[in-house]
Amino acid sequence: MELQLFNTLTRQKEIFTQPDQSPVKMYSCGPTVYGFAHIGNLRTYVFSDLLRRTLEYNGFKVAQVMNSTDVGHLTDDADQGEDKVEQQAKREAKSALELTRSYEEAFLHDLDALHIERPTQWLRASEHIQEQIALIQQLEAKGVTYQTSDGIYYDTSTFPRYGEFARLHTAGQQEGARVQVNTEKRHPTDFALWKFSPANQQRQMEWGSPWGVGFPGWHLECSAMVMKAFGPTADIHTGGIDHIPVHHTNEIAQSEAVTGQALARFWLHGEFLIIDEGRMGKSEGNALTLKTLQAKAFDPIAYRFWLLQTHYRTKLNFTWEALEAAQRGWQNMTAEIERWGAIEPGQRNEDFEQRFHEAINNDLDLPKSMAITWELLRSEIPTNDKLATLLGFDRVLGLGIESIRPITLPEELNTLLQERETARQAKDWEKADTLRQQLLDAGYVVEDRPSGAFVRRA
Ligand code: AMP
Ligand code: ZN
């Protein structure tokens, strides 16, 4: 079955193939590790996880590289402002190393909690300084760089296709007005490859280079790491939608000016999680973390379950009510499966499987595949076949279906349940409530549904 993916490069769905059957070279721009990832960032990583799992479902092997931006990301994208990591390290009175390692660890925990498969390779910007310097030297040899008082810059006017990827009209484009515009830049879109350490300030993270002591520009690390891990061209490159006009546009200019080859065959971008009609972001002050959700008794998987209901190229507005509804939906699904009792998986249902596969292969139509999953659960096919089919779906959904243990109530609790049913029928509500409480104390919630008593784990 063909796998169609929406390629930002061409702005259309294209058939993805891997002619030589080698592992798919997938590069996912990683987090800037100066704080906890917010659930918006995590939406982007759930999206790349779904992409990776879909590729695996289709029989591809995937080699996924993710970078850790632990140096060089400035508070303003126009190469001005402070280094986010250095600034936060001062605030938390930690070394940059302590800070970034602890947030990297927190990030990887978030990935685990959301059942996001860990990247096969995790590369740190600060550990690839020589590769980045070498890349600047190659760019210098091509004559596409220039030096200013604060760094080495890429002259974007030398790259004729600059901005084509983002459909940018660069003529007359203004730099953001939030910080003072760098007057030494030749064009507003030029960007730093290497920044000099300020003369009056000792940075924690700085390195010697042919041009002077300093640190690499933010965009450079991804170009250097793709090259290191995969050579000139990755099969797939992913990130959030905000990366299109600046970060990925600049990665393309840097890499392709040197290699003369496409940086990636497919580019996929996840839409934003928004809140109160605005982007969720750390600097916007509206960021929620997975910890916040957990503190409010939300299961991280309820968040994943919620994300599955919206296509990755659609904006998604966060509300607590929506998350509550998702948590209920996830509990219902779990309870349904628990209720099947102790069974062995049977035969996978080909019809359901075919429809599910078609949905995910249509540019990851997870909302549709979730609808098919519910249909499967409510269908008349034998329970053990449902379970087998569902376990197959879960290779993509990543909900952790296999760890749902069927409920087989111990004998004495089963008796309590029967007694409660009898009490209810006799409209002895007091007794029914007492029995319900006893079951709850034993770890089981009883819900009364039109179909009868419904038991799930507390
Ligand atoms: P950062 O840690 O800022 O480098 O961002 C990590 C990833 O999160 C990038 O791929 C961004 O595009 C993505 N991202 C940032 N904000 C959001 C948001 N509100 N919704 C979805 N993805 C986001
Ligand atoms: Zn990147």
Q: What is the pLDDT of residues 322-353, one digit of tens each?
A: 999 999 999 999 989 988 876 778 999 999 99
Query: Which pTM does this prediction carry?
Result: 0.90
- Shortest-distance atom of ligand 1 to CA 240: 12
Beta-bridge partner residues of 362: 4
Q: What is the pLDDT of residues 129-167, one digit of tens each?
A: 999 999 999 999 999 999 999 999 999 999 999 999 999
Residue nearest to atom 8 of ligand 1 (CA): 41
Q: Are 265 and 233 in contact (CB under 8 A)?
A: yes
Q: What is the pLDDT of residues 74-129, one digit of tens each?
A: 887 678 888 898 899 999 999 999 999 999 999 999 999 999 999 999 999 999 99
Q: Are 222 and 67 in contact (CB under 8 A)?
A: yes
Higher pLDDT, 15 or 402: 15
Instruction: Report residues whose beta carbon is within 6 angstroms of any ligand 1 atom.
Output: 29, 31-32, 40-41, 43-44, 69, 239-240, 242-243, 270, 272-273, 279-281
Q: Residues 437, 438, 439, CA angle at the centre, nearest 5°?
A: 90
Q: How far is the CA of 67 from the centre of ligand 1 (A)?
A: 13
- Shortest-distance atom of ligand 1 to CA 31: 2
Q: How far is the CA of 438 from the centre of ligand 2 (A)?
A: 55
Q: Residues 302, 308, 312, CA angle at the centre, nearest 5°?
A: 135
d(CA 185, CA 320) in angstroms, rounded, equals 45
Sign of CA dihedral 160, 164, 165, 166: positive
| 3-class state of residue 455 by DSSP | strand
Task: Give yes or no for residue 45 having a pLDDT over 70.
Answer: yes
d(CA 187, CA 175) in angstroms, rounded, equals 9
d(CA 64, CA 47) in angstroms, rounded, equals 13
Q: How far is the CA of 73 from the centre of ligand 2 (A)?
A: 11
Helix axes 129-141, 249-259, angle to 10 degrees: 70
168, with CB counted inside 10 A (0-12, 13-18, 19+), is: middle
Q: What is the pLDDT of residues 396-440, one digit of tens each?
A: 999 999 888 777 778 888 899 999 989 999 999 999 999 999 999
Q: How far is the CA of 289 from the centre of ligand 1 (A)?
A: 13
Residue nearest to atom 6 of ligand 1 (CA): 31
Instruction: Out of 41, 69, 269, 286, give the residue to mutate to test ligand 1, the one with the largest number of ligand atoms within 8 Å of its CB.
Output: 41
Q: How far is the CA of 248 from the centre of ligand 1 (A)?
A: 13
State the ligand closest to the CA atom of 310: 1
Residue nearest to atom 14 of ligand 1 (CA): 41
| 3-class state of residue 427 by DSSP | coil
Q: How far is the CA of 384 from the centre of ligand 1 (A)?
A: 40
Whose structure tokens read 């496409």?
262
Residue nearest to atom 18 of ligand 1 (CA): 40
Give the residue from 386, 402, 399, 393 showing the smallest Cα distance to 305: 399
State the ligand closest to the CA atom of 224: 2
Q: What is the pLDDT, as a whole number, of residue 456? A: 78
State which residues have CB under 5 angstroms from ligand 2, the bound ion. Answer: 29, 222
Q: What is the pLDDT, as a whole number, of residue 178? A: 45
Amino acid at 410: P
